[in-house]
Chain A
Amino acid sequence: EAGVTQSPTHLIKTRGQQATLRCSPISGHTSVYWYQQALGLGLQFLLWYDEGEERNRGNFPPRFSGRQFPNYSSELNVNALELEDSALYLCASSPGTWKNEQYFGPGTRLTVT
C-alpha cells in the first residue's frame, strides 16, 4: 500500500511570492491534515480537510489556505511569503474520524529567502 506522498520535496521562494504544496493521501483515507514544523517551534497544526470541506484550522493567518479535491488529495497555498514561513510542511491522512490515527508524508521543505 502506497503511503502519503507530498510534492515537491524542496521549494525555494522569495519573500512576497506564493507557494503551493501538494499531498496525496493513502488510498481510502478521506481526511487530510497539514502541519508546520518550524525550527524551534515544533509541530503546529495548520488545517484539516475531510470529504472536501475544511473542518478545522490552526492559529495561522488567512494567507495560509488550502483545499481538498474530489479524489481526496490536497493542496496547501501560502500567499505573501514571509521569511518565518520557512519550515518543513507535513501532510498526514487518516482513515476515518473514529480512529484518530494519522499517517504522515515525507514533507515539503519550504525555504523563503
Chain B
Amino acid sequence: AQTVTQSQPEMSVQEAETVTLSCTYDTSENNYYLFWYKQPPSRQMILVIRQEAYKQQNATENRFSVNFQKAAKSFSLKISDSQLGDTAMYFCAFSNTQGGSEKLVFGKGTKLTVNP
C-alpha cells in the first residue's frame, strides 16, 4: 500500500521569504502522480501543483515549485515570496496511474503560517 509522510506538522515563515515543505512517499509503482493541495482556513481544498513521475523536470506554477527526487521518493514544495494568503494546511498526495485505483492518498498535512 502506498503511504505519504509529511514530517513537519507546523511551519512558519516571514512574508516575502521562501519556505520548503517536505514530503516522502512509499510505493512499488513506477508510474504515478504526486500533488500538493492547499486547504486555507475557509476549508476549500485547492490543487497547487502536480507532478507526473515519468517526467524528470520539476513542475512549477508561479511562486510554487517542487523538488521531485524519484529515487529518494521525495517530493518537496517550495513557496517563494511567501504571501499572507499562503497561510493554510498543505497536503501532499499520491495517486496511482493504474485504472481502478485512482484514489488520492494524503499525508497528514503541514500547517503553514505566513507572518507579516
Contact = CB atoms under 8 A, between A and B. Distances in A.
Nearest to A94: B102
Interface stretch (B10-18, B74-82, B91-99): B91-99
Contacts, number: 51
A33 B100 CA distance: 12
A56 B91 contact: no
Contacts of A104: 37, 44-46
A58 B103 contact: yes
Interface residues of A, number: 23
Contact of B106 (A43, A55, A100): A43
Nearest to B43: A107
29 contacts: A31-B102, A33-B103, A33-B104, A35-B104, A42-B108, A42-B109, A43-B91, A43-B106, A45-B103, A45-B105, A55-B100, A55-B102, A56-B102, A56-B103, A58-B103, A90-B45, A94-B102, A97-B99, A97-B102, A100-B97, A100-B102, A101-B35, A101-B47, A101-B50, A102-B47, A102-B95, A102-B104, A104-B46, A107-B43
Contacts of A94: 102
Contacts of B37: 104
